Structure 1
């Protein structure tokens, strides 16, 4: 009889920024002979296709930001469903990676005395993670200077970094070369799903203000919302600026390492990818993001010298044009920023997160084995292997 691999639940929901780290950890766990199980909500389910044949479960909505009564009802309903799910699958640990699907799964795990940990992708501990930080076992951070982490919780925190896509990690060793005298200046503009319009409104006129000698060197790759593409293309054409525009690029990793300067929002995944590839950036944090976490993300990278931050109220054609001209005329500053960004990268973040949750699982199994005359077969060292009985 072959023993079933031990299960570890990865609870994540809401956005791709939560779901991708869950996928990265799931892939590591599978390689180590552990069975990952995804627990998400209806929003997270939209991002679940890349998980392939990994077992997936969708909990009822548990949005706690609505009115208190509705939020309480949703949370109780989702937690009840999570308790039944955990009772059926009997996981050895539960990791929460953000989003509202995380909270009921963590509460249910606590009630069943299953080890728990959470991962925070941003430089500000998110709402759900703040709600659960007091009762979970370990906290994994992407930023050493994470804000809104209670002082009493720092002792159980560890910096693991934030996983990035495998195709980005594969290009981590590509060296950065600033634009040479008279050579092409490759500019990558990544708007993201919530912010492309302001970049489409500001970046083209900013580039149009540059001296002709710099405009002639520009090679712009820009992500635009579909409704913005025609107007952006027309402006670039009138200024004879070489450009490639699209709502979405399937090869962002390759374009990232080819760029000299990146203009982007400051989501956690973007920051991590800039660090891994060591690309200098001008960051425009999304106003109104919950807890203003994008401003904190951008400030952390900028403080190391790896980026320049322009808050959206000051993100004007004049400001952007002046910044780009200064950087093009001072390529050494770009090289310094590249090295600073790369120096913050954590290439093995997914491995570190897997190590953390497996450490908790092993502690549980060691405790369980110690209370029996004989340790259960196939479960004594999950960090390395599971064995057949």
Structure 2
């Protein structure tokens, strides 16, 4: 698609789950010759992996907990952030503002709407997040990562577009690489991670679970595990006690390369994690975070589990014995693991960044976006999406 250079603003909360797809979209828009800026909070401004070309603006983000007495402070912060966002737009003149969820996206989107700038939200999870729920009726388009998204009202269907969850270019480059050879006498490489800071339950359960594998499988283990810094020595001692070779760290810069080599992934079910697993095609045992808002990680696993690409264990059932049982079932025969890898790969949406950029490109310049999947089978253009949003606003 060719289009004249324009300006776009991405707004996202300060977590990797919000910012990873925002960064992927920024790369695609910059590749097309557009100028991109980011609105986030202090955490987001400091997060690793931010593109060098991405100018960042830090806005106050009001938080709204269960205590109504604290809402006044949250409202004041949102209003201040809205005013600051409007000043950014006056100088930057964006063709559209794209929200990726998280509290910093709220004042950014409200500021854009006050200035009649088109707005789009992208939902990474299989449950519509709080800020996206609040803004769904007011934005011009809603980009989804899953065909079925909980807490999304049916009346917004006409402006929803299924694009997937954009992943890092380095991970996406692995999609056409074959699943690493897994033979009856070769290494069995397991990658364990609980997100940017690891997860204590994985540190406590996984070493013992791997020690209970069938002897022939256990003897071939080669483990890489990301842990919390304070857990490293205890986990190292657990693996040493089981005589299982394991490389441990609190952060791995070359995570894409480690995912490329892995035969099995064990970890949480965050949106970016699942997007990367399905982009590459790696079997997984997923343990949804039980305290995730609206239990969205449990919803995130539905599609890949149904496709046979992963198994899900709720945390209260995540014991060493259950983990060993599931791994034995997946890995005792090479073809079983390879089939699971193919099931995960089939759930991948490798064109997510491109499709989302096509949608964004349709605001403020292009006549029509490329055809993008909507719902389970329909196809709509961004022009139709925008018309539907206009009708919704009028109603």
TM-score, normalising length: structure 1 = 0.88
Consecutive unaligned residues in structure 2, runs of 5 or more: 369-395
Q: 1:77 aligns to what?
A: 80
Structure 2: how far apart are the matches of 1:48 and 1:111? 32
Deviations 1:43-91 (A, max 9, x none): 3212276221322211122223363222222221211222222223221
Moved more, 60-69 or 347-356: 60-69
Q: 1:85 to 1:64 in 2, by over 3 A?
A: farther
Q: 2:103 aligns to what?
A: 100
TM-score, normalising length: structure 2 = 0.87
Moved more, 162-171 or 194-203: 194-203
Matched, 1:338 2:348: no
Structure 1: how far apart are the matches of 2:312 and 2:83? 44
Q: 2:34 aligns to what?
A: 34
- Give the secondary structure class of the aligned counterpart of 1:236: helix
Compute the displacement of 1:279 (Å). Answer: 0.5
Structure 2: how far apart are the matches of 1:259 and 1:195? 17
Q: 2:390 aligns to what?
A: none
Q: 1:183 aligns to what?
A: 186
Matched, 1:256 2:244: no
Matched, 1:302 2:302: no
Consecutive unaligned residues in structure 1, runs of 5 or more: 366-389
Matched, 1:19 2:19: yes
Structure 2: how far apart are the matches of 1:304 and 1:232? 33
Matched, 1:171 2:174: yes
- Give the secondary structure class of the aligned counterpart of 1:50: coil
Moved more, 337-346 or 60-69: 60-69
Deviations 1:16-64 (A, max 9, x none): 1111211111121112121111111223212276221322211122223
Q: 2:156 aligns to what?
A: 153
Structure 1: how far apart are the matches of 2:331 and 2:48? 41
Aligned length: 362
Structure 2: how far apart are the matches of 1:33 and 1:64? 38
8 A contact 2:123–2:143 mirrored in 1: yes
Q: 1:55 aligns to what?
A: 55
Matched, 1:217 2:220: yes
8 A contact 1:177–1:335 mirrored in 2: no
Compute the displacement of 1:332 (Å). Answer: 2.5
Structure 1: how far apart are the matches of 2:198 and 2:154? 34
Q: 1:280 to 1:144 in 2, by over 3 A?
A: same
Q: Which among 114, 117, 120 is matched to residue 114 of structure 1?
A: 117
- Give the secondary structure class of the aligned counterpart of 1:232: helix
Structure 1: how far apart are the matches of 2:163 and 2:14? 22
Compute the displacement of 1:177 (Å). Answer: 4.5
- Give the secondary structure class of the aligned counterpart of 2:342: helix
Structure 1: how far apart are the matches of 2:101 and 2:339? 33
- Give the secondary structure class of the aligned counterpart of 2:143: strand
Structure 1: how far apart are the matches of 2:288 and 2:21? 21
Compute the displacement of 1:163 (Å). Answer: 1.0
Moved more, 290-299 or 136-145: 290-299
Q: 1:207 to 1:91 in 2, by over 3 A?
A: same
Structure 1: how far apart are the matches of 2:31 and 2:185? 48
Structure 2: how far apart are the matches of 1:60 and 1:364? 36
Q: 1:193 aligns to what?
A: 196
- Give the secondary structure class of the aligned counterpart of 2:364: helix
- Give the secondary structure class of the aligned counterpart of 2:60: coil
